[in-house]
Amino acid sequence: MIIPSIDIIKGKVVRLYQGKYSQIKKYSETVEHYIEQYLISNAEMIHLVDLDGAKNYEKRQTSFFKTLLLKKPNFFQIGGGVKNEKDIEILLSFGVKRVVIGSSALKNTDKVKKWLKNYGPERIALAIDIYIHKNSFKEVVISGWKERTGKSFENIISEFSSSGLKHVLCTDVSRDGTLSGPNFFLYKEISEKYQDIEFQASGGVSSLKDISILKKNKIKSIIIGKALLENKFTLLEAKKCYQKE
């Protein structure tokens, strides 16, 4: 599945470079404009990121997201600033299809395990962002990638597998927002090692060739943000490329 992604700050479409708020690019079109375009192109799901909420929990764009979700319930995947069960309940009540949990998976592991069991693996996805060291150690980073945990990607997958984990959004932080191409070796490795998990590859996609290679590497879903915003190709072209492989 091709999943178009929209990052949002103060109700506006933006992109960050490698997750850095100091390196932000703003787009003139509205969030609603992009959603409408993706719906016209028969997107199966749209990934929305509350960057305000991810940076400061008190500044979550809850009311704005409620308005967006009225357009098409049970269709959006949303992440950014989800810290407790009340946050999940609110988003699900708005009609979110899947809630993405990031830093809380490391900070409140037992609670997140409970959420996975209570809401089911189709409703909860983990966002595991990693910094890959020269020795190939995949270190998980949290809190907007500012905090390194010392824990490995493999450790986190193992930790949650017994709780029914199914959907994982995996980002190599060195590739995000760069249009430099995905980390193909990473996605090939994890998709082969953890065949029961449906990975969403995120970060670096810049061409239809990237999509083709990721599909051949058995990646179930590909999140694409900047490449679509920058008109590197259309969503229809991306979907056709993915389905062809």
Q: Is the pLDDT of residue 143 over 80?
A: no
Percent of the chain's residues with pLDDT above 70:
98
Q: Token match 């239809």: residue?
A: 208
Q: What is the residue whose two structure tokens read 């969403």?
A: 200
pTM of the full predicted structure? 0.92
- CA dist 155 → 60, 128, 137, 160, 191 (Å): 30, 11, 11, 9, 16
- Domain extent, residue 111, equals 2-244
Distance of CA 198 to the CA centre of its chain: 13
Coil/strand/helix, residue 57? helix
- Give phi and psi for 67, each to the nearest 5: -65, -45
Residue 55 sits in a domain of what CATH number? 3.20.20.70
Q: What is the pLDDT of residue 180?
A: 79
Segment 32-45 shows an average pLDDT of 95
Q: Pinpoint the alpha helices (H) of 73-134.
A: 85-94, 104-107, 109-119
pLDDT score, position 84: 93
Per the structure, how many domains does the chain have? 1
Q: Tell me which residue has tokens 């599909």.
A: 215
Contacts for 50 with CB less than 8 Å, ≥ 6 apart? 8, 60, 61, 65, 78, 79, 80, 81
Catalytic residue numbers read 7, 129
Please give the mean pLDDT across all residues of the chain: 92
DSSP states along 148-202: EEEEEHHHHHHHHHTTT--EEEEEETTTTTS-S---HHHHHHHHHH-TTSEEEEE
Residue 181: predicted pLDDT: 86
Looking at residue 224, its pLDDT comes to 96
Mean pLDDT of 211-218: 94
